[in-house]
C-alpha cells in the first residue's frame, strides 16, 4: 500500500510574523521557513505505518515555489521513499491544492492519504476535507491514533465528549492532530541519504489543473495591541471593574 503525504512550506513556528507595510500580506523576506508542524506529524505517522509493515511506500508531495524542494528533502530525511514537487509561483489556495492532490491521487492510487489538519500560516483547515470531496473517499479528521489492518483503517479522534473511533475502508483520507505522535529527530546520515532519493518535478498544467486564485486578499493587518492590566484591591473592586468598565458581567 502506498501512503501519500502532502507537506507545506510555511514560516517557521518560532518566527514572529510581521505584516508588510502596505498591508498586502506577510513579510517572508529573509525569514526562516520550515515544514508545517502538522504535516511533519503526518510524515512521521506514514513512516511508522511503513515500519510496522502496513505500507510499502511513502510519497511526499509539496505544491508551490522551487524552495519547496527543501521541505520535501526534509520529508525524505524523516523516512519518505520519494517525493513529488508540483512547481508553481502562483498563489495556491486550499481548493487549488486539493485539486492538485486529487490529480495525484488518481495518478498514484495510494491506499491512504495523510495530511496535517491545517497549515499554521493560513489556518484554513480545508484542504483535507476538499480532497475527500473531490476524490469521493471516506475521511477522518483530527486523528490522535491511526491503525491499519487489512483493507480498513481505524482512526481515533478527540471530540468534545471524549474520544470517537471511526472505521473506514481503504483508500481513505486522514488529517492529523497534535497528539498523534512526536516526529523523530532528523539525523545527518538520513539527511545525506535524502539527497539521493528520487524527487519528481511536475507542473499544474501536467496534471490538468487550473490553480488560478478564487479568493482575493483585500488587506492584512496586525491585531490590535493589548492594553496593560491593572491590580485591584479586592473581589468587590474586581466585580465592579468587570461590570462597569469591561461590561462583561
Q: What is the pTM of this model?
A: 0.86
Higher pLDDT, 224 or 117: 117
Model confidence at 18, pLDDT cuts 50, 70, 90, reads: confident
C-alpha cell at 156: 481515533
Cβ–Cβ under 8 Å, residues 71 and 35: yes
Cβ–Cβ under 8 Å, residues 46 and 3: yes
Segment 139-171, tens digit of pLDDT: 999 999 999 988 899 999 988 888 999 999 999
Residue 97 lies in a domain: yes
Domain that holds residue 193: 2-244
Number of domain units in the chain: 1
Residue 249 lies in a domain: no
Residue 27 lies in a domain: yes
Cβ–Cβ under 8 Å, residues 105 and 207: no
pLDDT in the model for residue 61: 96
pLDDT in the model for residue 44: 96
Model confidence at 28, pLDDT cuts 50, 70, 90, reads: confident
Model confidence at 103, pLDDT cuts 50, 70, 90, reads: very high
pLDDT in the model for residue 4: 96
What are φ and ψ of residue 91, in 5° steps? -70, 120
pLDDT in the model for residue 20: 87
pLDDT in the model for residue 59: 96
Residue 49 lies in a domain: yes
Higher pLDDT, 71 or 222: 71
Higher pLDDT, 55 or 24: 55
Model confidence at 70, pLDDT cuts 50, 70, 90, reads: very high
Instruction: Find the mean pLDDT for residues 163-189.
Output: 93
Instruction: Find the mean pLDDT for residues 2-29.
Output: 89
Please compute, for residue 238, the number of CA atoms within 13 A of its CA located in the half-sphere on the CB side.
6
C-alpha cell at 101: 492532490
Cβ–Cβ under 8 Å, residues 34 and 62: no
User: Comparing C-alpha atoms, which of 186, 181, 184 is closest to residue 74?
Assistant: 186
Residue 238 is part of a domain; what is its CATH number? 3.40.50.620
Model confidence at 87, pLDDT cuts 50, 70, 90, reads: very high
Segment 190-225, tens digit of pLDDT: 999 999 999 999 999 999 999 998 888 888 888 888
Contacts of 105 (CB under 8 A, 6+ apart): 4, 113, 131, 135, 137, 171
> For the chain, what percent of residues have pLDDT higher than 70?
100
Amino acid at each position: 500500500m502506498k501512503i501519500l503525504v502532502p507537506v507545506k512550506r510555511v514560516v517557521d513556528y518560532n518566527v514572529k510574523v510581521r505584516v508588510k507595510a502596505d498591508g498586502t500580506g506577510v513579510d517572508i523576506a529573509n525569514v526562516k521557513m520550515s515544514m508545517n508542524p502538522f504535516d511533519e506529524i503526518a510524515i512521521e505517522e506514514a513512516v511508522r505505518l511503513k515500519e510496522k509493515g502496513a505500507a510499502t511506500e511513502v510519497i511526499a508531495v509539496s505544491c508551490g515555489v522551487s524552495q519547496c524542494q527543501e521541505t520535501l528533502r526534509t520529508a525524505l530525511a524523516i523516512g519518505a521513499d520519494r517525493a513529488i514537487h508540483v512547481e508553481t509561483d502562483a498563489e495556491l489556495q486550499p481548493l487549488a491544492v486539493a485539486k492538485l492532490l486529487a490529480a495525484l491521487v488518481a495518478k498514484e492510487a495510494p491506499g491512504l492519504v495523510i495530511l496535517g489538519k491545517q497549515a499554521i500560516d493560513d489556518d484554513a483547515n480545508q484542504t483535507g476535507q476538499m480532497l475527500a470531496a473531490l476524490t469521493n473517499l471516506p475521511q477522518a479528521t483530527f486523528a490522535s491514533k491511526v491503525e491499519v489492518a487489512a483493507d480498513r483503517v481505524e482512526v481515533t479522534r478527540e471530540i468534545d465528549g471524549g474520544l470517537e473511533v471511526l472505521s473506514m475502508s481503504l483508500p481513505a483520507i486522514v488529517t492529523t492532530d497534535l497528539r498523534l505522535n512526536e516526529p523523530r529527530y532528523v539525523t545527518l546520515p538520513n539527511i545525506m541519504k535524502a539527497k539521493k532519493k528520487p524527487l519528481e518535478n511536475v507542473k499544474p498544467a501536467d496534471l490538468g489543473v487550473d490553480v488560478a486564485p478564487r479568493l482575493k486578499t483585500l488587506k492584512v493587518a496586525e491585531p490590535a495591541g493589548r492594553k496593560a492590566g491593572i491590580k485591584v484591591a479586592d473581589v468587590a473592586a474586581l466585580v465592579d471593574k468587570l461590570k462597569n468598565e469591561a461590561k462583561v458581567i
